[in-house]
Structures are given as structure tokens and as C-alpha cells.
Structure 1
Amino acid sequence: MRAMVQHSYGPPEVITLQETAKPSPGSKELLIRIQAATVGPSDCAFRQGNPFMIKLLYGLSRPKFAVGGTELAGVVEAVGEEVKHFKPGDRVLGMSVKSFGAFAEYKCLSEESPLAVIPDNITFEEAVGVCDGGATALTFLRDKAQLRKGQKVLINGASGAVGIYAVQLAKFFGAEVTAVCSGANESLVRAAGADFVIDYTREDFTKTHKAFDVIFDAVGKRFFPECKRVLTANGMYLTTEPRMSTLMQMMWTSLFKGKRAIVATAGLMQNKANLTYLMELTSSGTLKAVIDRRYPLEQLPDAHKYVETERKKGNVIIQF
């Protein structure tokens, strides 16, 4: 099978197209022929081995797993004899958060992995796109913030893969949504449901006179001390960036009532129920996939380069 392989950390060029052995499913595994995958900032971070924590977890001198990629959508080609809930021919959405491997034509996943059947009215690209940012946004807004109707939420990086689905989910949960993005993306985030838009090139949201119940920094660009001033008395700051300083602030603020800082490894917290829920919302039209660019598998390095410009809107999709 064709796979995009990297044997060292470094720039996008370390990823090369190679022929590798097609995997065979174990007794409790599904063999999935992949039809679509996504590329995001986390994929670029793993490729670079930066921050250093990545090397501590996934290989000091070179990547433990040569084929990257977490989110995938495809067709079940075969199943192990103990698989009970999936069958050949099923269209499925999956996440491979422990061993990666989405940037290849085939991947075996345990039946216990985060997996969901894709409804007939959703394409592979739409499914994997919604999963890419939607799963993270769902974990932060529903599970961590427990966002409620009538609350005021600000989403920084609202036009990115996590942010654009955070806007849609926050609106679905009944919140008043303020989106922070460039002025060029205002129409995009308003179409997603934003009530108010702040152009970060013209205004610093941490200096606004408005207070928010939840600030979700979906791009990890602002710090808790900066955002604290515009949080309500019991407001919550959420970030996707696990900085040591934020981890310390999270532990400290958890000891007292008042404003809190929260960081979470959302990818490791995903499950079947979350993916099924996202597919239900997408099938009903509540969530809409936002796809910026598409690249064929062999152009994965170019996809990485584009993601690193930090100008993408929604998802970057890899096509098979």
C-alpha cells in the first residue's frame, strides 16, 4: 500500500511517499481502506517533535510511528472474527490517537477505538473534517465548560479547524458567541453562527469592556493572565495549548472559587459516543463541514506547509 512515511523529525520534506506492507486485522480489529484524512497544527507539531514533550512520549531520536495522521474516514474492508458491531462495507469515521497511521491507504483499528458509522448523507471529507475540529471543541465546550443557554462565550481563532466548529457548537448550546478572527474571515464565522466578531488585527479582545463566562482560546495564542480581566467572576479560560504555566494556573485556580484556567488533551479523551454525536449533528444540518483545501496523499508535505502559514480556514483534507 502507499503511505507517507517519516523516519526523522524535521521540515515537511522529511515525509516521503513509500510502498509499505498492507496490514491485516487482528481478532478484534477492523481493516479500513482510508478515503479521507485531515492535517492540522498537531500533525505539524508531531512531525517536528516540538514541543519536546512529543519526543518524550513518541521517540527521542526519531518518531516511534513512521506514519502520521489521527483522523480518518473510509470503508471497512475486513474485520477480525471477534468484531461484533462493524462489518465489511460500513462507512466509518475513526481516530487513531495512540498509533496514528491515517496517512496511508489502509489502517487497522481496534473495535474499541473511537469509531462511528458515517450517515449516508455525509461524505467522507465532511465526516473527517467535522471530527478534526469538532471533537476537540465538543470536549472543551460541553464537557469542560458545561456551556449553558444564555452564557457569553468568546472563541479566539474562530475561523480555524477547532474554532469554526466551536462557534457552531456554542450556538447550538444556546450561548451568545463572540468570534475573534481576522476581518477577512468575518463572513465565515458569522455564517457559522457568531453574534459578534472582533477583528484581532484592529482590536485586542482582552481590553474590551465586555465580560465573558467562557473564553476558549482555540489556537493557544493568549494566556490566562491576559484573559482574566474579561472573565466574569466565575468565568473559565480554556486553551488547547498545554503550556507548563497554564497547567500550574489550572492546578492553582482549581483550589478556589472564582476564575479558572482549564487545559485538556482532548484527543486522548475521545470515544465512540462523541463521534456518533458529531455525526448526528452533521446529518441533521446542525454542524456543517468547513473545508479550506484538499491535497492528494502524495502532496502531504505541501499540506503541512499550508497549515504552518496559520491562514487556513476550517479543515485541510487529504484525499485518497
Structure 2
Amino acid sequence: MKAIISNKYGSPDDLELKEIAAPIPNDDQVLVKIHAASLNYGNLVLLTGKPFLARFAFGLSKPKYIIPGGDISGRIESVGKNVKHLKPGDDVFGDLSGCGWGGFAEYVAVPEHALVLKPENISFEEAAAVPMAATTALQSLRDKGKITSGQKVLINGASGGVGTFAVQIAKSFGAEVTGVCSTRNIDIVKSLGADYVIDYTKEDFTKNKEHYDLILAVNGYQPISAYNRSLRSNGRYVQVGGSGVQLTEAMVLGPLLSISGNKKMGSFLQRANQNDLKFIKDLLEAGKLKPIIDKSYALSEVPNAFRYFEEGHTQGKIVITI
């Protein structure tokens, strides 16, 4: 099979398209013929080895997982004898970040708990855009942010991969949603159901005297003190993306501010979860959630996809068609 290989930490220039042996599933795995995959921030960490702390999970001197790619969709070709819920011919989608990655390839062998049946009302490309970003949005809002109906929620970075899902998921929980994005993305964020949209090129939301029950920071940079100022009493701030400075502040200053005040502030890291993916599948089937795809690339064009992703202006997701 063809696959993108990453043998060392570096840049998109270090990625190679190679012909390698297709995987053979063990008794607890299924073999998936991959139709599409997508890019996430985790893919970039696996490529570059930055921040350095990530290497304790991905490999200190070189990548432990040589085929990048976490989100996939495809069709099951065969199953191991212990597999109970999936069968050959099933169309599936899932997050491979918890079981070895390997999505930028024509085939992958994975345990069935990494996969969920693909909704019939979306394409393989749309399905591949969903798992990691949508699960991040769901877990950060519901589990870390404790979102409830009627709350005022602000999403900074509302037009990116996680942000586009976060706007829709927050609306599905009955929240009043304000999205923050650039001028060119206002229409996209409005189309996702945001009640209000702030153009960060024209207005600093941390200075407009509005206060929010929950702030989700998935892009850009604002000091944590500014986010703190924009939170209501007993509000919550959740950091899931943005600059390295923003991550450091959330990890170091967030717990201190949470102890000294009546607000909860901190960072969040997504974990692959089949039950959460099933929850997201239900939203997709009900028409309450739709993926936004910016660009599609062929498997041979994955280095170019990474270069575009690194520019930081993606509208929704970048998909790899295989």
C-alpha cells in the first residue's frame, strides 16, 4: 500500500510517500480501507516534535508512530475473530490517536473501539473531518466547561477546525453563542448558528465589558488576565489551542487563578472516546452538526496540506482524499 512516512521530527519537507506492506489485523482488530483522512494540531505535533513535552508520548528522539494521521473514514475489509460489533462492508469513521495513528495510508488495522459507523447522510470526506476536532469541542464544552442551557458562551477561534464544531455543539446544548473570528470568516460562523459574531480585527472582545459564563479559547492569543476579566463570577475558561504562550499561561497561571478566585481557568487535552463519537454521530444524523471543509488534498500532496495548515488560517478542516 501507499503511505506517508515520517522517520524523523522536522518539517513537511521530511515527509515521504512510500510503498510499504499493508497491515494484517490481529484477532482484536479490523482492517479498514481508508477513503479519507484529515489534519489536526496533533498531526503537526507528531511531525515537528514540538512542544518538546509531547515527545514523552510520541518518542524522544524520533517519532514512535511513523505514519501520521489520526482522523479517518473508510470501509471495513476484514475483521479479527474477536471483533463483535463490526463486519466487512461497514462504512466507519474514527480517531486513531489513541491506538497508533496511521491514517495517512491506504489501509490501517485498528481495534474496533476506535471506530463508529459512518452516518449515511454525510460523505467519507465529511466524516473524516469530524472525529478529533468535534470530540475536542464536545469534551471541552461539556466535561471541562460544564456547559448548560441558557449560558452565554464565547468561542475564540470560531472558524477553525475545533471552533466550527464548538459553535454548533454549544448551540445544541441551548447556549447563547458568540463567535470570534476574522472579517473573512464572519459569514461562515453566522451560518453555523452563532447568535453574535465579533470581528477580532475591529474589536477586542476582552475590552467590550461583556461577560460570559464560559469562554473556549481555540485560536489566537489573549493574556489569561484578559480572559479572566471577561468571565462572569463562577465562569469557566477552557484553553484548547492557540499559541504556546497561551498554553503555558493556562497550565501555570490557570490553577493559581482558580484557587484564588471564584472562576475556573485551565487547559484541556482531548482523549479519543467511542461513546463521545457516537454522541457526535447522533448530532450529525439529526442535522445539528455539519463539517466545514476548507481544502482537500491527495495523499501525495500531504506535505502541501501541512504547509497550508501551518499558515493558521484554515476555515474548518483540511481533508486528505485517499
TM-score by length of 1: 0.95
Return closer, same or farther for 1:135/1:221 CA change in 2, 3 Å cut-off: same
**1:249 and 2:253 aligned:** yes
**1:80 and 2:74 aligned:** no
1:220–1:240: 8 Å Cα contact kept in structure 2? Answer: no
Query: Structure 2: which amino acid aligns with 1:40?
Result: N
Which digits, 9 at most, give the CA deviation of each residue in 1:24-76, with x for residues without a partner?
A: 11111111111110012331222111100122321222111111011111111
2:224–2:249: 8 Å Cα contact kept in structure 1? Answer: no
- RMSD between superposed Cα atoms in Å: 1.5
Match of 2:202 in 1: 202
Match of 2:307 in 1: 305
1:132–1:161: 8 Å Cα contact kept in structure 2? Answer: no
Query: Structure 2: which amino acid aligns with 1:315?
Result: K
Which digits, 9 at most, give the CA deviation of each residue in 1:54-112, with x for residues without a partner?
A: 22321222111111011111111110001001100111111111311101111111123
Q: 1:222 offset after TM fit, Å?
A: 2.8
Identify which range, 270-279 or 163-172, moves more after superposition: 270-279
Q: What is the correspondence of 1:16-95 to structure 2 with a 5 Å cutoff?
A: 16-95=16-95
CA distance in 2, matches of 1:14, 1:271: 31
CA distance in 1, matches of 2:319, 2:113: 25
Q: 1:264 offset after TM fit, Å?
A: 1.7
Q: 1:17 offset after TM fit, Å?
A: 0.3
**1:293 and 2:266 aligned:** no
Query: Structure 2: which amino acid aligns with 1:319?
Result: T
Q: 1:134 offset after TM fit, Å?
A: 1.1
CA distance in 1, matches of 2:230, 2:249: 19
Which digits, 9 at most, give the CA deviation of each residue in 1:142-199, with x for residues without a partner?
A: 1211211111011000000000110111111111111100011101000001111111
Match of 1:261 in 2: 265
CA distance in 1, matches of 2:142, 2:20: 40
**1:176 and 2:152 aligned:** no
* Ranges in structure 1 where 5+ consecutive residues have no aligned partner: none
Identify which range, 41-50 or 249-258, moves more after superposition: 249-258
**1:187 and 2:175 aligned:** no
CA distance in 2, matches of 1:128, 1:252: 38
Query: Structure 1: which amino acid aligns with 2:91?
Result: R
CA distance in 2, matches of 1:104, 1:295: 13
Q: 1:257 offset after TM fit, Å?
A: 5.8
Which digits, 9 at most, give the CA deviation of each residue in 1:104-158, with x for residues without a partner?
A: 1111111233x21012222111112122421110001112112111110110000
Identify which range, 116-125 or 235-244, moves more after superposition: 235-244
Q: 1:290 offset after TM fit, Å?
A: 0.6
CA distance in 2, matches of 1:282, 1:157: 22
Match of 1:105 in 2: 106
Q: What is the correspondence of 1:126-205 to structure 2 with a 5 Å cutoff?
A: 126-205=126-205
SS for the counterpart of 1:94 is strand
Match of 1:271 in 2: 273
Q: 1:277 offset after TM fit, Å?
A: 1.2
* Ranges in structure 2 where 5+ consecutive residues have no aligned partner: none
Identity of aligned residues (%): 40
Query: Structure 1: which amino acid aligns with 2:171?
Result: K
SS for the counterpart of 2:280 is helix
Query: Structure 1: which amino acid aligns with 2:110?
Result: L
SS for the counterpart of 1:141 is helix
